[in-house]
Structures are given as C-alpha cells and as structure tokens.
C-alpha cells in the first residue's frame, strides 16, 4: 500500500515540527474508512452533548475523535504525532479556511526576525472571519439599542400589532420572511429584535430560536433574490456547461422550485405552530415553563417619542444596505470580467461576496444606531463603547461554539464522511451472477452507433467483451450467460459491467450502469433527499452539501432521463436543496443552528432538542407526500397542497395547547430587570 503523505504536506499545517523517525508500516487499514467510522466524530460530539449538556467539550471531543479516526493507520504504526498535527490544522482552518496550505517561515538574525508566508494570500478564505465580525457588529448594535431604551420603545410599537403570544409568534414568522436575502442576517436580526417581545408575552426563547431557524434558510433558499440562490445557480451552471447542455441554470432552478417540499413544509410548520398555538415534544414543556414565569422587560419605558424610530432605523438599514452592497459588489465583479451587460439580477447576486456585504451593512447600522442613541438623548457619547460591550459579551461564548463547529467540520472532511454518504446515491455498476443468464440495465443519453460492454471479475480482470450497435437513448438491458470471451464458465459471484458508448463520429455518449444493489430510478429524489440530510447533519454545512451533491445529481439525472428535463432530475435537484436544509436544522454543529441560538439568546443544546421533532416531522411529510410520489411522476402542484395540508393537520392533531396566561400582562405585573 502506498504510504500516506505526511501531514505537513497533506494538511499544510504551519506548525514547524522536528523530524521524527518513522517506523516501517506494520498495520495496513482498509481505505476508505467504513461509513460508521467516518461519521464517528459527529456522532461522538452529538452523543456527548446530549449526555453532558455541555457543547464546548462535546465539540472538542469530536475533533479529537476525527483526528484519531482520520489517522488510524499512522497511530497504529507509531506516528501518532500526525493526528496531533492534523488537530492543529483543524483549528487553523476553522478560523481562516485555506491558511494551513501556506508555509510559515522565519528569516533574519538576532532580534530582527521577519516573517513571511509562501503562497498567494489572495487565495485565503476570510468568510469565517467576516461572519464573526458581522455577528459582533449586530450584537453591538443590539447592546446600543437596549441601553438607550430603543429596544423597549420598538417593543411597545410592535405590541400594538402583536397582541398576545400568538400575535408575537406570527410577527416573528413574518419578520423572517422579510429578511429573505440571507439566512445569517435573518438569524441574528430577527432573533435579536423579537427577543424582548417574546419575554413580555411569556414565550420561551427556544420557540423564538425555532421560528428563526426554520424560517431563515427555507425562505432564503427559494427567494429569487438571495445569497443562497446565487450560490446554487453557480453550481448548476457549472454542471450544465460540463454536460454541454443548452438548458439555462435559472430555468432549471425555477422549474425545480415546486419540488422544494421541505422548505415549504418547514415554513408551513412554523406558521401552523404560531397560528394554532399548539406545540409538541420538548418544546411543549419549555412553553409551559415560560408561561409560568413572570414576564420581564429590559428596562423602564423610555420617554422620548423618537426612541422607537431610533431603534427601527438601524434594523431597517441593516437589511436594505446589505442588499444594496450585494448588488453593488456583484455588479463590480461582473464588470471586471466584462460580463455585466447581459447579467440578470440573480447572476449579479451570484457574483457578489455575501459575507463582506453583511459586514459593511452591519458596521454602518451599528454606527447609525450609536449616533441616533446619542442624538435622541438615550445614551451619552462616552457610554456608547460600554453599551456595545454589553451586547457583545453574551455572544462570545456562542462564537466559540461556532468556531469549534467549523473545526469539527474540518475533521469530518478529513474522515471523508461526505464522500461515503454520496456513494449511497451513485448507481452501482456491480451485479451478482448466479446460475443461468443475468440481465443488467444501463441507460444512454443519446442514440449510440456502437457500445462496448465489458464484464470484469472482482480482481479487475476483463472476462468478457462484446460490441453492440445502433442503440436508442434511454434504458437498455444487457444479458450475460456467465461465459468468458474464451468460452469458460464463470463461477457464481459478484461482477462489474462497464459500458463505453459512442456516436457515429466517435463522440462519447454518457452511460449509467445500474447494478442489482441500488434503488429504482423513481426513488432517486427520495434517496438524494435522505443522503443530503445525512451529509449536512454530519458536516454541519448546507452549502458544502450542495457543492458535493449537485455535481453528482445533475449528470446522473440527465443520464437517467435521456438528456431531458423531467421529474427525476427536477425532484433530485430540489432534494439536494431540501435535504441540506433539513440536515442543517437537525445538526448541532451547523452554523445557522448556532447563530439562531445566539440571536434568540438560548442554549444551543436546548435549541437543537426542542427544534428536532419539528424538523423531523416536516422532513417526513416532505419525503412521504413529496419526493417519493414526485419520482413516480405525480405533479408537484398536486403534492404541494397535500404536503401543506398534512403539515397543518399534524400540528392540529399532535400538538397540544400551552396552558398558562395568554393575554398580555399589565404594567403592574411586569418584573423590571436591570441590564
């Protein structure tokens, strides 16, 4: 077996280590790792978190397990230092993805040492740093609004429309729909703004985190103007260009939108829970506890009439400015490439840097919030830094969790968990030959002048070859009688079929062999949905899941449907998106899960525990009443109402009303809590 590359080369870790003697290989482990072993870092982290209710130690445990699993062979061969080097790389990559590929060196003499980095620094990914900076800016703005009395004034205004717990929850649900352009902004803006209102009406912060989380990604994924859609279109367009397809990425995406069953059921689930006032699972317990607690407000009601406007303006500016910066940055990028003239709004968004736009929007919103607080007299100028710190301090722990979640995601990348899961979708070219003749199906994308079929044994030797001519596109079947090209009978057992097809001019024709150990074609959207959900759950990233699966699903779907756009490819494409969101909602290491808990001010483990039953229920409905019948060819316009009605009925029949005081409290009942 070829020796694995040393971690300094494989991970590019910048930590200089003395060369150590390397013993000869004495243990040769199978490659790749088994699926369960590859998933073990995430499974350990989740299990420890549920047992201990401590997130940071759980994530650290998962990272240690990931480093050990990814380097089991090195550990067994006395090279445990490689696992520790990889662990260091996970931390480095969590802060600045790509940094561990650069070699850090020192030069100079005596006290005058100068550092330099070998490599192109423009290739560094600063998205994680920008997310942290954006989160701190939003938190600082929340601190300024709270200390100046602006939050309390804005709550008073919203209370006129949100009368009672039901109105407050509906207001949060609708607010999530307004911040449609980015899920990160949705999690922090809506969570921070609605928190005091939920406190006043005795609604748990866990419910707020659920509403925010299950609204943010679903609405951003189907809104035609959002950072999500721009990213998806880029992935789809790349695959269509590789296939030489004349279909447009936008046209394919819009055609697949009616198949986005989970996004629609999740949004409906939130609305049904809010309007019907019914809950189930751990959330019901949290809601009943919240109703039994006295309501609270952050501070005394402000007296200045402009205070509510001073609080509302920065929040609106954050939303509007971020969208403006997205469009501006996208236009600038396309203009530099000479592609602006023919670009649509969606293509402009696809070219923009969403994280930099979020940072610019939140920075300006923070500055405006401070200026308005001083102008209205709610906050003295010299007290602004203290107010910003009051907002930032509570989120620092959550940002540590987010950092460690990124680190665990790096460990999952090292164990190749995503690759293992995607293999479940890839059609197998293997089959089992028994007595008599064996028939193996395969699919062609175009009319074929000739096709060379070859049978291989488990050792990779070609046993039998045959030339087929003039085949039509679509499904074909090849029958093998079990004899080799030399006439000898092959024993019963596993074999592999390879098909190489060509047009008359020699142009290769795409072909997919479907062996006997895979699912039927109509089940592909459902299987893709489950695999995408498992991948996003294990890795904690919906964007990463889409980047892994879309390059596999689009060519596969076109091949299985003879190059035409049909329900299998549309359902499978939407299933990647929907499954990514479901896995994101269920995963405690997802960045949006962490940011939703951060914005709502609730413990991460509690948020995951209370949200999981809702996410799994919506996912089950989308699977049974959406993706499975869609693979049969049932129109999505019939399945959408079926999914939505089933969702509402499930909440109505399974959910229970929350006992406790429902009407808004009077001023005499309020408990004032000083910040």
Q: Are residues 150 and 205 in the same domain?
A: yes
Q: Are residues 196 and 297 in the same domain?
A: yes
Q: Are residues 196 and 320 in the same domain?
A: yes
Q: Residue with structure tokens 């936008």?
A: 250
Q: Are residues 30 and 87 in the same domain?
A: yes
Asked whether the beta carbons of 205 and 250 are under 8 A apart, the reply is no
**Res. 148 pLDDT band, cuts 50 70 90:** confident
pLDDT at 8: 32
Q: Are residues 180 and 313 in the same domain?
A: yes
Region 168-178: mean pLDDT is 81
Q: Is residue 570 part of a domain?
A: no
Q: Is residue 50 part of a domain?
A: yes
C-alpha 146/C-alpha 163 separation (Å) is 22
The pTM (predicted TM-score) of the whole model is 0.66
Q: What is the dihedral of CA 298, 302, 308, 311, to 10 degrees?
A: -50
Residue pLDDT, tens place only, 489-532: 888 888 888 889 998 888 888 887 877 666 677 888 998 899 88
As given in the structure block, the two tokens for residue 144 are: 């300024």
pLDDT at 17: 34
Q: Is residue 190 part of a domain?
A: yes
Helix boundaries (H) for 540-603: 542-560, 567-586, 591-600
Average pLDDT score, the chain:
77
Residues 6+ apart with CB under 8 A from 579: 262, 528, 529, 530, 531, 532, 533, 534, 535, 536, 545
Q: Are residues 500 and 402 in the same domain?
A: no
Q: Are residues 480 and 406 in the same domain?
A: no
Q: Cβ–Cβ contacts within 10 Å for residue 74, how many?
A: 24
pLDDT at 135: 75
Of 494, 513, 532, the one marking the end of a domain is: 513
pLDDT at 472: 85
Q: Is residue 651 part of a domain?
A: no
C-alpha 632/C-alpha 135 separation (Å) is 44
Sheet (strand 474-480) strand order: 474-480, 438-444, 511-513
The answer on pLDDT for 22 being more than 90 is: no
Q: Are residues 141 and 89 in the same domain?
A: no
DSSP letter (8 states) at residue 131: H
Residue pLDDT, tens place only, 630-644: 988 899 999 999 999
The answer on pLDDT for 2 being more than 70 is: no
pLDDT at 357: 81
Q: How many domains does the chain have?
A: 3
Q: Is residue 364 part of a domain?
A: yes
DSSP letter (8 states) at residue 363: H
Of 482, 513, 544, the one marking the end of a domain is: 513
Region 641-666: mean pLDDT is 78
Residues 6+ apart with CB under 8 A from 464: 454, 455, 480, 483, 484, 485, 490
The answer on pLDDT for 9 being more than 80 is: no
Q: Are residues 204 and 336 in the same domain?
A: yes
**Res. 265 pLDDT band, cuts 50 70 90:** very high
Of 456, 479, 513, the one marking the end of a domain is: 513
Q: Is residue 643 part of a domain?
A: no
C-alpha 302/C-alpha 322 separation (Å) is 29
**Res. 155 pLDDT band, cuts 50 70 90:** low
Name the percent of the chain in helix, strand, coil, to the closest 5.
60, 10, 25
Residue pLDDT, tens place only, 278-304: 999 899 989 888 888 776 654 444 445
**Res. 613 pLDDT band, cuts 50 70 90:** very high
Q: Are residues 438 and 388 in the same domain?
A: no
Q: What is the CATH number of the domain that holds 485?
A: 2.60.40.4070
Asked whether the beta carbons of 529 and 578 are under 8 A apart, the reply is yes
Strand partners, 508: 502
Region 317-333: mean pLDDT is 83
Q: Are residues 391 and 454 in the same domain?
A: no
**Res. 181 pLDDT band, cuts 50 70 90:** low
Q: Is residue 283 part of a domain?
A: no
C-alpha 103/C-alpha 14 separation (Å) is 6
pLDDT at 323: 81
- The residue range of the domain holding 355 is 127-234+293-415
* 3-state secondary structure labels for all residues of 392-455: HHHHHHHHHHHHHHHHHHHHHHHCCHHHHHHCCCCCCCEEEECCCCEEEEEEECCCEEEEEEEE
Q: Is residue 422 part of a domain?
A: no
Dihedral pair phi/psi, residue 280, rounded to 5°: -150, 165
pLDDT at 462: 86
pLDDT at 669: 40
pLDDT at 5: 37
Poorest-confidence range of 313-317, 382-386, 543-547, 662-666?
662-666
The answer on pLDDT for 125 being more than 80 is: no
Highest averaged pLDDT of the listed ranges 149-158, 507-516, 662-671:
507-516
Q: Are residues 436 and 304 in the same domain?
A: no
């Amino acid at each position: 077996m070829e020796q694995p590359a040393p971690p300094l080369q494989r991970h590019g870790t910048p930590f200089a280590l003395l060369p150590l003697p390397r013993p000869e290989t004495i243990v040769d482990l199978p490659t790749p790792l088994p699926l369960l072993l590859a998933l073990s870092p995430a499974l350990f982290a989740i299990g420890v978190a549920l047992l201990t209710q401590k997130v940071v130690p759980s994530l650290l445990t998962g990272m240690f397990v990931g480093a050990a699993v990814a380097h089991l062979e090195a550990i067994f061969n006395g090279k445990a230092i490689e696992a520790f080097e990889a662990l260091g790389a996970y931390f480095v990559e969590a802060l600045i993805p790509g940094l561990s590929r650069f070699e850090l060196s020192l030069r100079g003499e005596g006290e005058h040492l100068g550092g330099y980095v070998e490599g192109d620094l423009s290739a560094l990914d600063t998205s994680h740093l920008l997310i942290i900076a954006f989160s701190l800016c939003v938190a600082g703005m929340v601190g300024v609004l709270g200390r100046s009395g602006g939050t309390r004034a804005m709550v008073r205004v919203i209370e006129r429309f949100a009368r009672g717990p039901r109105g407050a929850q509906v207001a949060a649900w609708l607010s999530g729909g307004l911040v449609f352009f980015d899920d990160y902004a949705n999690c922090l803006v809506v969570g921070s703004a609605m928190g005091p209102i939920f406190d006043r009406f005795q609604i748990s912060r866990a419910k707020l985190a659920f509403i925010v989380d299950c609204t943010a990604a679903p609405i951003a994924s189907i809104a035609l103007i959002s950072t999500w859609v721009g990213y998806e279109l880029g992935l789809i367009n790349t695959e269509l260009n590789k296939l030489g397809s004349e279909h447009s990425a936008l046209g394919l995406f819009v055609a697949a939108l009616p198949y986005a069953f989970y996004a629609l059921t999740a949004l409906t689930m939130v609305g049904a829970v809010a309007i019907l006032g019914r809950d189930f699972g751990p959330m019901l317990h949290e809601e009943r506890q919240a109703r039994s607690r006295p309501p609270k407000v952050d501070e005394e009601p402000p007296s200045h009439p402009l205070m509510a406007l001073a609080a509302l303006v920065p929040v609106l500016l954050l939303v509007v400015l971020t969208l403006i910066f997205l469009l501006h940055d996208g236009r600038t990028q396309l203009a530099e490439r000479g592609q602006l003239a023919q670009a649509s709004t969606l293509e402009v968004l696809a070219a923009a840097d969403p994280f930099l736009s979020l940072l610019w929007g939140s920075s300006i919103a923070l500055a405006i919030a401070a200026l308005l607080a001083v102008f209205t007299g709610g906050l003295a100028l010299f007290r602004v830094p203290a107010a910003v710190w009051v907002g930032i301090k509570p989120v620092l722990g959550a940002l540590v969790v987010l950092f460690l979640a990124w680190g665990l995601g790096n460990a999952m990348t090292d164990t190749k968990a995503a690759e293992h899961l995607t293999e479940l979708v890839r059609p197998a070219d293997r089959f089992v030959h028994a007595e008599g003749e064996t028939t193996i199906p395969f699919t062609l994308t175009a009319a074929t002048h000739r096709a060379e079929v070859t049978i291989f044994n488990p050792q990779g030797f070609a046993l039998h070859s045959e030339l087929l001519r003039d085949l039509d596109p679509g499904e074909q079947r090849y029958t093998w009688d079990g004899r080799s090209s030399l006439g000898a009978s092959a024993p019963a057992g596993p074999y592999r079929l390879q098909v190489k097809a060509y047009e008359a001019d020699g142009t290769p024709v795409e072909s997919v062999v479907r062996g006997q150990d895979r699912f039927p074609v109509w089940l592909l959207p459902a299987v893709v949905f489950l695999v995408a959900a498992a991948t996003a759950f294990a890795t904690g990233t919906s964007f990463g899941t889409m980047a892994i699966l879309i390059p596999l699903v689009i060519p596969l779907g076109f091949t299985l449907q003879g190059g035409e756009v049909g329900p299998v490819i549309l359902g499978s494409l939407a299933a990647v998106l929907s499954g990514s969101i479901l896995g994101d909602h269920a995963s405690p290491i997802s960045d949006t899960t962490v940011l939703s808990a951060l914005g709502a001010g609730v413990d991460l483990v509690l948020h995951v525990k209370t949200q999981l039953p809702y996410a799994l229920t919506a996912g089950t409905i989308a699977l049974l009443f959406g993706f499975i019948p869609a693979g049969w060819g049932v129109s999505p316009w019939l399945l959408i109402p079926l999914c939505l009605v089933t969702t509402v009925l499930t909440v109505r029949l399974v959910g229970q009303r929350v006992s406790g005081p429902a009407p808004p409290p009077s001023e005499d009942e309020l408990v004032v809590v000083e910040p």
